[in-house]
Amino acid sequence: MIADQETKLIRILMKQNERSAIRQLSKENILADFRLATLSRQLSIIGRREVLTGKAKFGIFGDGKEIAQIAMAKQFKEGDWRSGYYRDQTWMMAMDLYTPLEFFHQLYGNTDRGVFTGSGGRVFNNHFSVPNINPDGSWKDLTKQKNSSADISPTAGQMPRLLGLAYASKLFRQNKDLHGYTSFSIKGNEVAFGSIGDASTSEGHFWETMNAAGVLQVPMAVSVYDDGYGISVPKEYQTTKGSISDILKGFESEEGKPGIKILKGKGWDYQGLVKLYEEGIALCRMDHVPVLFHIEEMTQPLGHSTSGSHERYKSSERLKWEEEFDPIKKMGEWIIDQKIATSEELDRIKAETANEAKEARKKGWEMFQSPMNIERDALVKIIGARKCQCHEEVKEASVDKITDDLVKVISPIRKDNFMAARKILRNVCESCNKADNLKVELHGWLKRNYATASESYDAFLYNETPTSVLNVKPVPPVFSDNSAEIPGRQVLRDNYDKLFTKYPLLVTFGEDIGYIGGVNQSLEGLQKKFGELRITDTGIREATILGQGIGLALRGMRPIAEIQYLDYLMYALQILSDDLATTHYRTAGRMVAPLIISTRGHRLEGIWHSGSPMSMLINSVRGVYVCAPRDMTRAAGFYNTLLEGNDPAIVIEPLNGYRLKEKMPDNPGEFRIQLGVPEVIITGSDLTIVTYGSTVRIAAEAAKQLAAHDISVELIDVQTLVPFDSHGIIVDSVKKTNRLLLLDEDVPGGTTAFMMQQILEKQDGWNFLDSPPRTLTGKEHRPAYTTDGDYFSKPSAEDIFDAVYEMMKEAIPHKFK
């Protein structure tokens, strides 16, 4: 929208605002807001005390930010989305998404999924989320609830996802084919609200997101809470000119140049903030203009967190100013000044909220503590029931001593109970055992309680509902006599063609994939056919491409985020690891973000275009499935499978396979490859080679050469690294060959070490080995440029031949010279 029109619209809105703001600011509303602010503050104060007295582990609170959040919450409608950070407790309470009791459940880390849907005790306090799926994995009606994506602690980590949440509204509005998806969006009228601290705007994610939002013109409303500090470091060290709104001025919309709208408010100015948010959000919602609210003069009365006091780094003048400009104090003064209420009335509200917070604390603590006490009592009862009075000298402590110590713990946690049970188990004497069955009883207690602990702390790394991609049944590619042999890129393209027809919610976006159809032409011509809203070029901004995908996936779309080369995924790795990979886990199974990341790697040319940093990936993205197809038919098969389930996954296409010819299946878009099922490419009897991706082809060549030397190799393509061989196909091979070579292009001790651990330890493969297992990998350095660089940096068919021959020679020296 051009600047003139925008100003006009704002003027109209402001006029409307004055009317509606006056309506909103009735005495009743104002006092309810004041009550909420004081209740929130009381929670912060008591919460801090709970940590300092040792009942809770860590606390970070929303004190000093209450009033702006109340003003903002007034504009948050059902269907809207939040992506914020740990200061947002008042905002969440104002939206009825967080109660004082839940505040304590989170603070103590209560793992009972029944009492609080936010996080199952898995994340710090004040990290919020609202479920986007039902317990059976089906989508909730997201337009009938106020939505919050799940917070993460890394500063500015909420920004890339925020972009995606806002971008979804654009797609739901502009793509008319999506107007029928009314449980996801009402024609894109939803605003994505974000919050961020002033210091966190120093992060690259913030700038990348703001730029992308300006380019995309999406309804993203970011509030910067400016309290002048990032822990102890003042904003002069964080922000050029010390003002985020000043330096963002170049982003502002101008005549004929759409950008962002910047609005400024003061953190203590209740009336002003109510108007400010009404005006800004109306513009954002109506015209999809990104808006930045710079909320200055905010305070932090209790200091950054429970990790230390702010008196260490704030001057006495600053502390005095913060006292004076405490937003609740200021609001109270305004209320009295406007004769809305007397100071006695306000004092009464404060006393009532202090009481309410105290009551919530008491109840929250009881609810947290009582299951632990019950667990302990059951344990003590088992031990107490034994008749044997053993007085044997034991190494650590006697059963009686351990039990006495446990009983003395005033507020036991599960760790106390388990430590005691496990130590006692070590000290059960022979006569205890004969007389009382104590050992059996203790084992039973541990088994039962470990099962519940595992539910609390281990479950939901991956989707466990019926929508899990692991439930998708395989469909083989069908070939007939007239199936054509075509370059791999065309297999992908023709498969995509079917997918875009079949799934209206499917979109893909990334660098160069729109107009030219991808650097490898795997989407050639498809933008023309399906339109720019579905196959979309983006800026070079990997972190926000990822975030864009996460936000879309949370809102029910089916995004494939395209990262041009695996080597550049590192720009997005933080978001991939911290955000996407933990979404399901950190919400205790309450949210899904079924984002598919498509990229390509392995052998091509040089240090930044042929990487296989697979161990970096698999070790940092558990929670995301990792597919490493050997060719494009396999890659297409994985996309087809993934779109039938609701899990995040990454597919790494083999970079050197786009031009190689493959037989085109007769059922594009339909054939599906099951995750976690390796494929035996060549059967053999002497030795098993396990590999994946581009090295499968090289190993197949080596196997041919070895056959000429009377060595029979069984070659297995693992296909997906996570999940890894769910059916024990590899160990079955090892049982037959008794020899194992793990092969890939990663660094030594990288993914081959992971595979070895899976096969030897998890599948018990070591039991069946007659020779020491070996790994053959790329070199420690990155692959050098040119074909020779590749030959000497990564395993070749000759390297594989030699490694296998060597193993056979060691095993049967008289045969292999």
Positions marked catalytic: 542, 609
Cβ(82)–Cβ(148) under 8 Å?
Answer: yes
Nearest to ligand TPP of 199, 597 (CB atom)? 199
Nearest to Mg ion of 323, 347 (CB atom)? 323
**Per-residue contact string for residues 225-254; x = within reach of Mg ion by CB under 5 A:** --x-x-------------------------
Nearest Cα residue to 319 out of 200, 228, 240, 198: 228
Backbone angles phi, psi at 409, to 5 degrees: -65, 125
Query: Which member of 193, 225, 462, 496 binds ligand TPP (CB under 6 A)?
Result: 225
Nearest Cα residue to 298 out of 327, 271, 261, 341: 327
Backbone angles phi, psi at 474, to 5 degrees: -70, 150
Nearest to Mg ion of 197, 518 (CB atom)? 197
Q: How are beta strands 720-722 and 625-627 bridged, if at all?
A: antiparallel
Nearest to Mg ion of 116, 207 (CB atom)? 207
Nearest to ligand TPP of 200, 763 (CB atom)? 200
> In angstroms, how far is CA 248 from the centroid of its own chain?
29
Question: Residue of minimal CB distance from ligand TPP?
Answer: 197
Asked if 319 is part of the footprint of ligand TPP (rule: CB under 6 A), the reply reads no
Query: Which member of 198, 278, 567, 647 binds Mg ion (CB under 5 A)?
Result: 198
Residues 98 to 127 in contact with ligand TPP, rule: CB under 6 A: none
Asked if 199 is part of the footprint of ligand TPP (rule: CB under 6 A), the reply reads yes
Count of residues in contact with Mg ion, rule CB under 5 A = 5
Asked if 153 is part of the footprint of ligand TPP (rule: CB under 6 A), the reply reads yes
Rounded least distance, CB 578 to ligand TPP, Å: 9
- Tell me the HSE value of 526 on the side-chain side, using a 13 A CA sphere: 30
* Binding partner at 811 among ligand TPP, Mg ion, none, C-beta below 5 to 8 Å by kind: none
Rg (CA), the chain: 30
Using alpha carbons, list the distances in angstroms from residue 309 to 40, 462, 644, 759: 20, 39, 51, 51
Q: Which H or E run contains 741?
A: strand 740-743
Nearest to ligand TPP of 198, 269 (CB atom)? 198
Asked if 304 is part of the footprint of ligand TPP (rule: CB under 6 A), the reply reads yes
Stretch that binds ligand TPP, among 226-234, 277-285, 448-456, 605-613 (CB under 6 A): 226-234
Nearest to ligand TPP of 151, 279 (CB atom)? 151
Q: Please give the Cα distance from 817 to 806 (Å, whole number).
A: 9
Asked if 200 is part of the footprint of ligand TPP (rule: CB under 6 A), the reply reads yes
Asked if 542 is part of the footprint of Mg ion (rule: CB under 5 A), the reply reads no
Here the tokens at position 554 are 């949370």
* Binding partner at 153 among ligand TPP, Mg ion, none, C-beta below 5 to 8 Å by kind: ligand TPP
Burial class of 614 by CB neighbour count within 10 A (0 to 12, 13 to 18, 19+) = buried
Query: Which member of 155, 217, 306, 577 binds ligand TPP (CB under 6 A)?
Result: 155
Say which amino acid occupies 552: L
Count CB neighbours of 405 within 10 A. 14
Residues belonging to the chain: 817
Cβ(564)–Cβ(512) under 8 Å?
Answer: yes
* Binding partner at 87 among Mg ion, ligand TPP, none, C-beta below 5 to 8 Å by kind: ligand TPP
Contacts of 440 (CB under 8 A, 6+ apart): none
What are the residues facing 294 on neighbouring strands? 224, 264
Asked if 768 is part of the footprint of ligand TPP (rule: CB under 6 A), the reply reads no
Asked if 486 is part of the footprint of ligand TPP (rule: CB under 6 A), the reply reads no
Backbone angles phi, psi at 143, to 5 degrees: -90, -5
Asked if 231 is part of the footprint of ligand TPP (rule: CB under 6 A), the reply reads yes
Residues 64 to 93 in contact with ligand TPP, rule: CB under 6 A: 87
* Binding partner at 155 among Mg ion, ligand TPP, none, C-beta below 5 to 8 Å by kind: ligand TPP
* Binding partner at 154 among ligand TPP, Mg ion, none, C-beta below 5 to 8 Å by kind: ligand TPP
Q: Please give the Cα distance from 633 to 561 (Å, whole number).
A: 19
Say which amino acid occupies 503: Y
Stretch that binds Mg ion, among 189-197, 440-448, 550-558, 715-723 (CB under 5 A): 189-197
Interface contacts to Mg ion, rule CB under 5 A: 197-199, 227, 229
Interface contacts to ligand TPP, rule CB under 6 A: 87, 153-155, 197-200, 225, 227, 229-231, 304
